[in-house]
Amino acid sequence: MASRAQNHLQKPPKQPPRILKKQWSIDDFEIGKPLGKGKFGRVYLAREIKSKYVVALKIIFKEQIEKYRLHHQLRRELEIQSSLRHPNVLRLFGWFHDDERIFLILEYAHGGELYKELRKFRTFSEEQAATYIASLTQALAYCHEKHVIHRDIKPENLLLDHEGRLKIGDFGWSVQSRSKRRTMCGTLDYLAPEMVENKAHDYAVDNWTLGVLCYEFVYGMPPFEAESQKDTFRRIIKVDLNFPSTPQVSPEAKNLISRLLVKDSSKRLALEKIMDHPWIIKNANPIGACWN
């Protein structure tokens, strides 16, 4: 699948044109190069023909949705992500379907996955890491105000736009709820202790994940990584947290990580206090983090 769309990429306008509110079909788009491949489908660069607006088109195969019984999860993902409006949350403009596929019209993140950047550089500078953590904190505070718990923040689900601004890009495990939940979901290295122990959980699972990410950004690996799943679970439950002796990592960074990776979820540092933490204040770029 290729067309002129991949050869005429423009810097996207600040706001999508009003034409992005209508009944869609695949004929409304020029399809460009593939951007990624997942378990249930693929993502392509695309351009809405009439407005010339560049988007990412995520194509999910209905056969896979049927096979894995993901109807409810997909519907919830669409409802949640389409309702969110924040500079650090990837926009979902709309969706449509045909006999075999479901199409999601997403904001195009030119910089791709943060995961690839982290693998490329192995670690981020404290300035870059703090800016990403501040961005995520702002986005999650907004989500929590809307009663949305993300539950699967990890580098693969974080994208960068053409200015290097971080965007949360996958809400597949998100839930909108005012009460505690019991579903164990997410990704092994980023699971909070209450999830591993199959206890009820709330918004604080996202705060835990911020601590895991902060550690990974500055040390290049998740804090509880082990040779087996069983050992990883054991380390998470014990909060077996070790800080390698690396001179590049400041005591302030370690302090923030330690205050987020706390087993008692009620004692984890609150999101608003993260923004006031000395490490964030000293290192984060307010522009890159979209501070209000």
As annotated, the active-site residues are 152
The DSSP code for 109 is -
What contacts 75, CB < 8 A, 6 or more positions away? none
CA nearest neighbour of 12 among 110, 83, 80, 106? 110
Give me the phi and psi of 43, to 5 degrees please. -120, 135
CA distance 170 to 155: 11
Whether the CA torsion 130, 128, 289, 203 is positive or negative: it is: negative
From the CB of residue 287, how many other CB atoms can be counted at a distance below 10 Å?
Answer: 10
CA distance 51 to 77: 26
CA distance 149 to 204: 9
Pairing of strands 112-113, 101-107: unpaired
CA distance 128 to 227: 29
DSSP SS3 for 233: helix
CA angle 4, 5, 10 (to 5 degrees): 120
The DSSP code for 212 is H
